[in-house]
Amino acid sequence: MLSSYSRSLTNFRLELLKSMVRAGHVVVAAGPEDDAEVKADLSKIGVEFATIPMARASLSPVRDIATFLQIRRLIKKIRPDVVVPYTMKPIVYGGIAARSAGVPGRCFLVTGLGHVFSEASLRTLKGRWIKRLCVRLYRLAMAGARTVFVYNDADRSDIIENSLVHDVSVIHRVAGSGVDVDHFAFAPAPLEKPVFLLVARLIKDKGVFEYVEAARRLKRQRPNAEFQLLGPFDPNPGAISRLQVQEWIEEGIVDYLGETKDVRPFLANCNIFVLPSYYREGIPRSILEAMAVGRAIITTDLPGCRETIEPGENGYLVMPRSADSLLSAMWPLADGLRLAAEMGRRSRELACTRFNVHSINEILIDRMGLSNHDHAGREAAGACGREADAINQQLDATRRVISWRG
């Protein structure tokens, strides 16, 4: 399993990794950070950890080539039957490396196609050029995939529209990465005062500025309301600076809670969860966790986010990039904490019935051909060897014709 952030292996994929081990497989998980805690947690469930260099936000060809070569070296060393990458760079470079090494089973978790497919990115010439390049790389990576999992219909449509796979029957939609509803147990929502919480990486596309502006206006009329912000600073080009967050704190608008390894206490202390993201999401894990704890949800009417909402039942959908729309949804919940609590109970029901991680993992394991140790991957080894020769010839040709500038 290939990731672009080591801690995501234990935060988001731990139950899936456990399922793979229980099915009798030897599992290696790879990520860029040599995180001792991650390694220890993986070791406890019988998963080996490997470090691969990767800069998530970098557009440097030199660094990306180094990432590709390191992944290919790792794959050739351990000779896996199945490679499972998720997020953009692992999918692209892991997929190409796995093809060139002749891996018979290549299964992709498309948790979102990435910022390059967002409307904001496509507004600029550079963004459109980068998307064209990424489409070519995705095609090269996903050709011959055993299965491609998507979290929403928009990603499925983009994969088909851009011909990222030749056989659309390999595309399967699942309800996100799921949530462990036992770990994220229901907690009654507090009723003393409105407490809004946004949990996200601190980048503009997560709707942080809109959240702060809506909070600024609402706080003038409801001074007892609290607006919390939880999440790490990020190297993304659209990152929000520490100075900006400090200004909001000094203005008295938001309480910045830093970052955490365990979000549950913070979810228990709020009564309304907000994620006004216009980032190209799969299905946001932060929303699923808030739903499992039993919180009313406000999020944007965009692919990925909208899949979590039954409007008026467990929350509200708002227009992206609109502080006005966000304020209109926050206001009735600030004045109706019992309504928020009722919506939270419906969120919990949906988390248990639609987004239960164990149900989702059963589907993933089955579609990957990992339900038992004698999976079908070995039968394809001869065909994959021939494909590996072809892809290596294609890579050699690519090296001869591409020159990097800038």
Kindly report, residue by residue over 133-142, the tens digit of the pLDDT: 999 999 999 9
29 and 99 both lie in a single domain: yes
With CA atoms as reference, report the closest residue to 95 among 153, 170, 39: 170
Q: Which of 339, 354, 369 is the last residue of a domain?
A: 354
Cβ 27 vs Cβ 21: under 8 Å: yes
Distances (CA, A) of 357 to 39, 183, 205, 265, 294: 22, 11, 27, 21, 16
Tell me, yes or no, whether 188 lies in a domain: no
Alpha-carbon distance of 330 to 338, in angstroms, equals: 14
CATH code, domain carrying 380:
3.40.50.2000
Judgement on whether residues 231 and 270 belong to the same structural domain of the protein: yes
Do 349 and 363 have their domain in common? Answer: no
Q: Are residues 24 and 78 in the same domain?
A: yes
- pLDDT tens sequence across 313-329: 999 999 999 999 999 99
Q: Is the pLDDT of residue 195 over 90?
A: yes
Quick check: is 148 in a domain?
yes
User: Rounded to an integer, what distance in angstroms lies between the CA atom of residue 130 and that of residue 122?
Assistant: 9
On whether both 26 and 173 belong to a single domain, the answer is yes
| SS3 state at 26 | coil
Whole-angstrom Cα distance, residue 355 to residue 288?
A: 7
Does the residue 16 lie in any domain? Answer: yes
* Cα 271 to Cα 228: distance, rounded to the nearest angstrom: 11
Q: What is the DSSP string of 156-218?
A: HHHHHHTT--S-GGGEEE-STT-B-TTTS---PPP-SS-EEEEES-SBGGGTHHHHHHHHHHH
The long-range contacts involving 210-214, CB below 8 angstroms and separated by at least 24 positions, are 210/276, 210/321, 210/322, 210/323, 210/326, 211/274, 211/276, 211/326, 212/248, 212/253, 212/254, 213/323, 214/323, 214/326, 214/327, 214/330
Q: Could you tell me if residue 345 is inside a domain? A: yes
Residue with tokens 């709020």: 270
The total of other beta-carbon atoms located within 10 Å of residue 376's CB is 12
How far is C-alpha 276 from the chain's CA centre?
16
pLDDT at 59: 65
On whether both 32 and 168 belong to a single domain, the answer is yes
Number of domains in the chain: 2
CA trace torsion 120, 124, 126, 129 (10° rounding)? 80
Residue 46 sits in which domain range? 6-178+357-401
Assigned domain for 189 exists: no
Let me know if residue 296 belongs to a domain. yes
Tens digits of residue pLDDT in 270-311 = 999 999 999 878 899 999 999 999 999 999 999 899 999 999
Same domain flag for 268 and 315: yes
Phi then psi for residue 263, to 5 deg, are: -80, -10
Residue 183 belongs to a domain: no
Counting residues of the chain whose pLDDT is more than 70, the rounded percentage is 89
- Whether 382 and 292 map to the same domain: the answer is no
Examine the domain organization and report whether 137 and 54 are in the same domain: yes
Residues 146 and 293 in one domain: no
At which of 316, 331, 354 does a domain end? 354
Q: Say yes or no: 115 and 231 in one domain.
A: no
Q: Read off the amino acid at residue 377.
A: G
Is residue 406 a part of any domain in this protein?
no
70-72-77-80 Cα dihedral, nearest 10 degrees: 130
- Based on the fold, state whether residues 216 and 238 are members of the same structural domain: yes
CA dihedral 128, 131, 135, 141 (to 10 degrees): 160
Give the pTM: 0.83
Instruction: Return the higher-pLDDT residue of 134 and 47.
Output: 47
Residue 83 CA: distances (Å) to CA of 31, 158, 220, 327: 13, 23, 53, 44
Check whether 380 has a pLDDT greater than 60: no
